[in-house]
Structure 1
Amino acid sequence: MELYEEEAEHLGPEFDTTRHACRAAIVKSPALHYLAHYSSGVFDFGVDALGDPPSPPDALPGGTRREELKRLGRHLTFQVTSLDRALQEARTGRLIRTVLHTEQGALFCDSVVPTEHVVGLVLDHAGAGPLFGHPAVDEADRAIAELATGLRGELSLGSLNPGGWETFGAPQALPGAGPREPHVSAGEGALDACAEAVRAQDLHLVAHVAGGEVLAMVDHLADPSLGPFFKQVTVEARRRFYLGFVRELGGLATRLNRAVRPVVGGLLVRAVLDVEMGAVYYYRLGPGEYVVGVTIDQAQVGEADDRMSALATRLTPSGP
């Protein structure tokens, strides 16, 4: 596999181990086509297996796919910073991993520390299949999560378990009490399907949105087993936040789709906003219609995503 590497003029030897780690990640994971490193939104270096020829010396700047990817990565790191601020209200920690999964590829942005991000890309992934569990997308997702964790290790920092990959598939502790009825904040739309998907073990909140309105929203946030997650914020305060946030996610998805589609291709069908304590999931059902899920347990991020993928498949039998 022929790799192409590009670095910014400001790069010094302090980036050597980081560059080696990124090169090793893309060699190890054939699903990854592109990796770039950003500091405070500034492109540091990139390594790719795109197969595009280098730009001729007299080429006009900004016209190549690599230039488009650099700009998209810069845009994404700024979007992530803005989203991080918005999500702080839920008191679930920093935004550590963002997944933008389209019909033709996937873009990832994982945080090493708040000002340092790695951006990865999967292009032309084969087959429709489930959105969560897609072989190429999941392989790249895991690779970037491992890379971010490894780069944190260079700074003597522990793992944030991005994607919940380190705990995915581990045995779950059973809740102390029997199953309870979920709390219903909005009771129309796909209420029954949402109520069946939500549970106290992993997928703690599910909402169905269409036409800018939250038709259904159910949750298990008040389950006693989740008590330790509410030392800084009340259940009602989180419910209010998510009720507003799930409504706004449609507009955010539209803006992200506009930025990602020209480079990655296809409509945005899945997005994951992975924070230190859990994740928010967006799954597109149709024009202006989507389902949103929330987990507040980082160890269950993978399981909750799997349940959301199954819910989205159930509500769109013909596929996304």
Structure 2
Amino acid sequence: MELYEEEAEHLGPEFDTTRHACRAAIVKSPALHYLAHYSNGVFDFGVDALGEPPTAPDALPGGTRREELKRLGRHLTFQATALDRALQEARTGRLIRTVLHTEEGALFCDSVVPTEHVVGLVLDHAGAGPLFGHPAVDEADRAVAELATALRADLSLGSLNPGGWATFGAPRPLTGTEPGEPHVTVAVGAPASCADAVRAQDLHLVAHVAGGEVQTMADRFDDPALGPFFKQITVDARRRFYLGFARELGGLATRLNRAVRPVVGGLLVRAVLDVEMGAIYYYRLGPGEYVVGVTIDQSRVGEADDRMSALAARLTPFGP
């Protein structure tokens, strides 16, 4: 595999360890086609296996895929910073990982520390079936998460478990879980399967949105097993936040789709906003229609994503 490396003029020897780690990550994971490092939204360096020739010295600026990816990476890191501020109201910690999954690839933006991000790309996504669990996308996702964790270790910082990959599939029995019906905030003739999908073990809230309005929203926030997750915010306050955010997520997805589609290709069909304490999921069902999921348990981010993927597949039998 032939790699192409590019670095900004400001780069100094203090980035050597980080550059070597990024290069090792893309060599280790054939699914990754591109990796770049950003500080305060500024491109530091990139390494890729895109198979494209080096940029000619007399080439017009911004005319290559690499230049497009650099701009997209800058845009995504700025978006992550803005989203991080917006999500603070839910009291689930800062945004540590963003996944933008299209019909033709996926883009990942993982935070090392609040001002430092790594951006990864997998292209040529192919094949039908559930979105979560696609081998190439999952491999690239894990690789970027492991890289961010390794770069944190270089700073003597512990893992934030981005993607929940470090605990994915590990047994974790819940104590105090009570059977019963989920709490339903809104129900306007939406699929009952949304309410059926929520459970205290992993997927704690699901909302179905169509035409800009939340058609149904159900959650398990009242379950006694989730009590420790509500020490800083009330159940009602968190419900109100997610009700509003679910409604706004369609507009955000549209804006992100406009930015990502020219570079990655295809419609945005899945997005993950992974915070320190859980994640928010977006799955497109059709024009103006999508489902939103929430987990507030970081150790179950992967399981909740898997459950959302299965729900979206049931609601769109012919694909999103």
TM-score by length of 2: 0.99
* C-alpha separation in 2, matches of 1:120 and 1:280: 20
Secondary structure of the residue that 1:37 maps to in structure 2? strand
Equivalent pair of 1:175/1:201 in contact (CA under 8 Å): no
Alignment partner, residue 101 of structure 1 = 101
Following the alignment from structure 1 to structure 2, what is the Cα–Cα distance between the partners of residues 278 and 18? 27
Q: Say which SS state the counterpart of residue 166 (structure 2) adopts.
A: coil
Give, in angstroms, the shift of residue 176 of structure 1.
2.3
**CA separation of 1:5 and 1:189: change in aligned 2, threshold 3 A:** farther
- What is the Cα-based RMSD across aligned positions, in Å? 0.8
1:118 is matched with: 118
SS in 1 for 2:167: coil
Match of 1:15 in 2: 15
Decide whether the 8 Å contact of 2:210 with 2:290 is kept in 1. yes
Q: Structure 1's 308 and 189: CA in aligned 2 closer, same or farther, altered over 3 A?
A: farther
1:290 alignment counterpart: 290
Shift of 1:56: 1.2
Report if the CA contact (8 A) 1:108-1:120 is conserved. yes
Q: Displacement, 1:68?
A: 0.2
Contact 2:178 2:223 in 1 (8 A): no
Answer yes or no: is the 8 Å Cα contact 1:191–1:217 preserved in 2: no
- Could you tell me how far apart the structure 2 residues matched to 1:273 and 1:39 are? 20
Q: Describe how 1:126-145 pairs up with structure 2 within 5 A.
A: 126-145=126-145
DSSP-derived class of the 1:247 partner: helix
Equivalent residue for 2:54? Answer: 54
Task: Tell me how far apart the structure 2 counterparts of residues 21 and 174 of structure 1 sit (CA, whole Å).
Answer: 37
Matched, 1:274 2:253: no
In structure 1, list runs of 5 or more residues that go unmatched. none
Question: Displacement of 1:222 after TM fit?
Answer: 1.4
1:214-225 map, 5 Å: 214-225=214-225
Following superposition of structure 1 onto structure 2, how do residues 250-261 of structure 1 map, counting pairs within 5 Å? 250-261=250-261
The question of 1:25 aligning with 2:21 is answered no
Q: How does 1:110-259 map to 2 (within 5 A)?
A: 110-259=110-259
Task: Using the TM superposition, name which of 251-260 and 176-185 deviates more.
Answer: 176-185
Distance 1:60 1:246, change over 3 A: same
Q: How many angstroms does 1:53 deviate by?
A: 0.3
Helix, strand or coil: the match of 2:206? strand
Distance apart, 1:315 and its partner CA: 0.2
The number of residue pairs the alignment matches comes to 320
Contact 2:177 2:200 in 1 (8 A): no
Does the residue aligned with 2:99 lie in a helix, a strand or coil?
Answer: strand
| Whole-angstrom distance in 2 between the partners of 1:105 and 1:245 | 25
> Alignment partner of 2:56: what SS?
coil
| 1:127 shift after superposition | 1.2
Structure 1 position 189, deviation (Å): 3.9
**3-state SS of the aligned residue for 1:166?**
helix
The Cα of 1:10 is off from its aligned counterpart by: 0.2
Provide, for residues 149-197 of structure 1, a one-character-per-residue CA deviation record: whole Å limited to 9, x for no partner. Answer: 0000000000000000000000120342431211000012434111110
Contact 1:205 1:293 (8 Å CA) reproduced = yes
Q: Read off the aligned partner of 2:146 and give its amino acid letter.
A: E
Within 1, Cα distance between the matches of 2:251 and 2:26?
33
Partner of residue 38, structure 1 = 38
> In 2, Cα distance between the equivalents of 1:253 and 1:63?
26
Shift of 1:55: 1.3
Q: Given the superposition, is the C-alpha separation of residues 177 and 120 from structure 1 closer, same or farther in structure 2, using an over 3 Å criterion?
A: closer
Counterparts of 2:96 and 2:103 in 1: how far apart (Å)?
A: 24
1:307 Cα shift? 0.4
- Deviation (angstroms), 1:242: 0.3
Q: Which runs of 5+ in 2 are unaligned?
A: none
How far apart are the structure 1 equivalents of 2:98 and 2:177? 34
**Paired letter, 1:236:** D
1:189–1:208: 8 Å Cα contact kept in structure 2? no
Q: CA deviation at 1:43?
A: 0.1
